[in-house]
Structure formats: C-alpha cells, structure tokens
A = this chain, B = another copy of it.
Amino acid sequence: MNPTKDLPHFPPLTSEREPTYERGYWREELTLAFRNRGMPLEALRYSTTPTGLHFLLTHFDIPAGDVVSWRLEVGGLVERPLTLRVADLEARPRVTRRVTMECAGNGRGLLHPRPLSQPWLQEAIGTAEWTGTPLAGILEEASSRPGAIDVVFTGADAGMEANQVQRYQRSMKLGEALRDDILLAYQMNGEDLPPQHGGPVRLIVPGWYGMASVKWLVSINVTDRPFDGHYMVGTYRYSKLKGELGEPVTHQRVRALMIPPGIPDFFTRTRLVEAGLVKLEGRAWAGRRGVGRVEISTDAGKSFADARLEPPNDPCCWQAWSFDWDARPGRTTLIVRGTDSEGEAQPLETFWTYRGLGNNVAQRVEVVVG
C-alpha cells in the first residue's frame, strides 16, 4: 500500500528556515498557536481533562472524518490483510484507559534561540479516558510474516512538510506495537472521538509523547525494514545541529505543573495571591516510569522542599501533588520540579535541541503576594 499515491505533487515550497535568535514571534508561529490548542493550566484541577480543554496539535488540516465510510487497512507483511470498519472495532474487546498525553514540542516556545515551529510554552498536555480495542489483537489476527520488524501507521491528514507532500506517518517496532496497552481508540471521555482528536479512529500509545498516537488512522502496514519517513528521521529527534540525525524522541520525560495560584493579571499573567496559607496544587507525570518526587521552591530556586505526591491511579497517567505555602508579602517566583522513579529530575535550565523537543524545564510562576 502506498498511502501517498493519491496526493498531488508539488515542487519544494521554501527552503527550511534555520532556528532564529530573533526575540519576537513570527506570524507563522502565531497561526500555528491559534490552530493548536493548549490546556489552560487551571484545568489541572480536573483529574480527567474536559474534552474541549485537552491540548490539540494538528500538523495539517483536520480531515472531514466520517464513521460510515471510514476504513482501516491492515496490510504489508501479514498473512491475513484486514479491512476494518468502526463497527468492526466496536465489536472487538473493549478497553478504556486513562492516559496523560503531551506533545513532544511542549516547552519549545521557552527556548532561546527558538526553533521555529509550534511555539508551545508548557500547556501541550491533557488527560483523557480513551476507549477502543487493543492494537495487539488486530496485529495478531493479521499475523505478521517472517522478517516483519516495523509497523507503519498512516493518518488521513496530508500536507507539505520538509518540502515533501505527505501524510502524517509514524512507525513502531513490531515488539513495541504488540504491547497490550496500545489502543485503536474510537471514544474519548465516553463519547465518539471528535474530529479534532482524530475521529473516527486514532492510535493511543500510553507513555510516549503524542506524536506516536497517530490520529485519523487509515492504514497499518507491517514491513521488513525500519520506516524512514519524515516524522521518524526528519523530526522527533533529539538532534543538536541541523543535519544531525540524533536519538529518536520516544517516551515522555518527567514534568510537574502547578495550577497558577490566586488570580491573574490579564496581560502579564502574573499571579496575585493573598498573604497567608496557600495550598499549591498540580499534577506530575513521567510516562511509564512514574513520578518519584515533586519539589517546590517558593524563593525563585534558592531552596526546594518536597510536595505531597499522591500515588498513581493509572499507569502513564498524571499524579496529583500539593504543597502548603506560607505566602509572605512581596514578589517571588514559584518553581515546581518533578523527578521520575529512576531519579531523573526536570532541569532548571531549558533543554535545547534543534527541533525544540522534550524541553521539560521546570515551571516558573511569577507571583505578587499582597
């Protein structure tokens, strides 16, 4: 199967832009910022994010999905190619998983120099209940043939990136794809998967950054060699220089975020907090590793103290934390920093890569206590 066969051919549109030291933001970034929705951080109050507040990242356009005509083709190096309708998936074993999802580009807008792409600050997150059928069952039914090593997932969304017209495509190693926690999801928070979240059907890969959870899934193709599409080798890599391949971006790195306390100033978003005991609250996650520790600084990083961390309710899902702060009048910077179960902590300085991926710098919140 060639999922790009019905796409038009276009010559390269632009040469790719270099990262820039420009302090301002570009029109292109702003256009992306308005298409792609962040979760306002006060929504950390919800253990499951309301559907309309979950982050959204769409590379191209949201396709006009249609439950009736939608088909998922499963093919390539398999004994039994399959063509599945939504109803076929619904008739299979049904699983619901609560999963924290995060864009790999979360934090990019905090970098200097800033790689030009979707300029997320720290809000490309959300936790939803995804309902679907395990991918493993589908792959087992199709039954891979000897030599199969990779599985390519193709979405219906198409456009030009890196000067190539293409659909969004990602792959996983066959062993990884057979994990029992990966879903072909057709519901989000108990309702039909809405178009903007990948409806009618998307992949959900718990613990990985969001790029693995391919939306608008139309094809699963088993292959005998590693897939080298743009979203595997041209981006989603921790490269430090243009042209350097770099290590692949895979699992979520640890991150803790706080609900900004008090009330905001409209434009600067500085927080205004009344002096006295303030309960700081938020959530933290670390993909499959889970969170080991959350620390708070109320003095701009001079000192840190441990927050109370709730145990996880679900694997690959955020955990609540809280911290009692005796807020004294004046201006300060609050910092929250998570450490995963293997001892890896969020950095206090930004983590720079050429594509601006995996920047899990600790959150800072400017506060005036009055």
Give the distance to chain B from A287, nearest Cβ to Cβ, in Å.
Answer: 23
Q: How many copies does the complex hold?
A: 2
> Cβ of B8 and Cβ of A160 under 8 Å apart?
no
B residues less than 8 Å from A123 (CB atoms): 34-35
Any B CB within 8 A of the CB of A50: yes
Given the interface pairs A119-B30, A121-B30, the reply to whether A266 lies near B194 with Cβ below 8 Å is no
A199 — nearest CB in chain B belongs to which residue?
A: B50
Residues 35-76 of A contacting B (Cβ, < 8 Å): 35, 37-38, 40, 42-43, 45, 50-54, 56, 58-62, 64
The chain A residues found within 8 Å of chain B, CB to CB, are 7-11, 13-14, 17, 22-35, 37-38, 40, 42-43, 45, 50-54, 56, 58-62, 64, 109, 116-117, 119-121, 123, 158-161, 165, 194-197, 260, 262-270, 272, 274, 368, 370
Q: A42–B62 contact, CB under 8 A?
A: yes
Contact across chains for A272 and B8 when beta carbons are under 8 A apart: yes
Question: Are A165 and B30 in touch, CB under 8 angstroms?
Answer: no
Given A34-B38, A159-B263, A160-B264, A10:B196 Cβ within 8 A: no
Contact A13/B368 with A61-B40, A196-B52, A260-B61 known, Cβ cut-off 8 Å:
yes
For A45, the chain B residues whose CB sits under 8 A away are 64
* A28 CB contacts on chain B under 8 angstroms: 267-269
What is the predominant secondary structure among interface residues of chain A facing chain B? loop
Say how far A9's CB is from chain B's closest CB, in angstroms.
Answer: 7
**Closest chain B residue to A191, Cβ basis:** B191
**A34 cross-chain contacts in B, Cβ below 8 A:** 33, 37-38, 120-121, 123
Chain B, Cβ-Cβ closest to A331? B13
28 A-B Cβ contacts within 8 A?
A: A8-B370, A14-B265, A14-B268, A22-B24, A24-B25, A25-B25, A25-B29, A28-B268, A28-B269, A30-B30, A30-B33, A30-B119, A33-B33, A35-B123, A40-B62, A42-B64, A52-B52, A52-B56, A52-B194, A53-B195, A60-B263, A61-B264, A116-B267, A159-B263, A159-B272, A160-B265, A161-B267, A165-B263
Verify B60–A43 contact, CB threshold 8 A: no
